[in-house]
Amino acid sequence: MTFSGLFVPLITPFTADGDVALRALESLAHELLDAGATGLVALGTTGEPSALTPAERAAVLAVVERVSRTRRTPWIAGVHDGIVPASADAAMHAVPAFVRPGEEGVIAHFAALAAASPVPVVVYHVPYRTAQPLSAGALLRLASLPNVIAMKYAPGTLDATAMAFMAAAADVPGFSILVGDDVLAGPLLALGAPGAVMAAGHIATADYAALIAAWQSGDLPGGRALSHRLAPRSAALFAAPNPTVIKGVLHAEGRIPSAAVRVPLTPAAPEQVAQARGLLTLVSPERAAQGLSTPVTPEQVAHV
């Protein structure tokens, strides 16, 4: 399987009492697929997996698997405890954080993971969180490992390393770059990434699906216009630690029972949620007519 299109890394909704809201999770998963998402990611970092118990993580995986099999759509399982669901279409592993094993250590780590994994592996490279930078050469070696089929690529900036890797990775057979930096989605898609794993895709999913489709189809004016308009919204959705703003917007839209997160996260401020909701009308004016957002002002755009 070659991964492309929009994958949404699901939040984990909680009830007002703090329990995992599995029915809301299932409903949200269907909504995202209905709105144009290609597939789902269960227990990505957006899903607060470290704050869940093993039983809660298993329950989340079961819901996402059931929805994906019913809809016949691909799903990726985030792996945090070494347990890889054999039923997933792929397993996503982050570059080891805090340890900073160096490039050779990272490559050895993923070579061992990929060799032992019952499903294909997606590497999650996010150096501004793991504190482990990787050269374009090291990234290309990861992309070329057997059983590694994709990389969620969140470089944090478009520099010479990113440009060199994007160019070289296009020649690796059976490998896909999935954009992992929501604000940089447009430029990375323009450089050839065939898809994205975007938490921002929870909100007005069709807009983000259209962004990817525009670049895939060669619609340069459409892709450029959507990129410019969606970048401020994506920035607003990450104005506080992920997924607090996204949960605030989903709750305000009545799509999850609460905006609760678990410590060490705390809920986003009301003004941050309002800012993100206001920016929805930049691309989706019909949502305002449906009462799902409030008009955006030039001052709000400038503030992002």
Poorest-pLDDT segment among 22-31, 237-246, 275-284: 275-284
Select which of 124, 153, 208, 247 is catalytic: 124
Measured on CA atoms in the order 235, 52, 107, 38, is the torsion positive or negative?
Answer: negative
- The answer for residues whose C-beta is within 8 angstroms of residue 286's C-beta and 6 or more apart is none
Q: Say if residue 292's pLDDT is above 60.
A: no
297 and 278 in contact (C-beta within 8 Å)? yes
> CA nearest 27: which of 16, 13, 37, 38?
13
- The answer for residues whose C-beta is within 8 angstroms of residue 83's C-beta and 6 or more apart is none
Poorest-pLDDT segment among 144-158, 221-235, 274-288: 274-288
**pLDDT for position 282:** 53
**pLDDT for position 281:** 65
Strands (E), the chain: 5-9, 39-42, 75-78, 90-94, 121-125, 148-153, 176-179, 195-197
Q: Structural domains in the chain?
A: 5-219 (3.20.20.70)
Average pLDDT over the chain reads: 92
Q: Is 152 tagged catalytic?
A: yes
| Chain-centre distance for alpha carbon 42 | 10
Q: Is 208 tagged catalytic?
A: no
Residue type, 94: A
And the tokens for 245? 């703003």
Poorest-pLDDT segment among 12-26, 121-135, 269-283: 269-283
Q: For residues 285 and 13, which has the higher predicted lDDT (pLDDT)?
A: 13
pLDDT digits (tens, 9 = 90+) for 74-95: 999 999 888 899 999 999 999 9
Select which of 152, 153, 208, 247 is catalytic: 152
**pLDDT for position 283:** 52
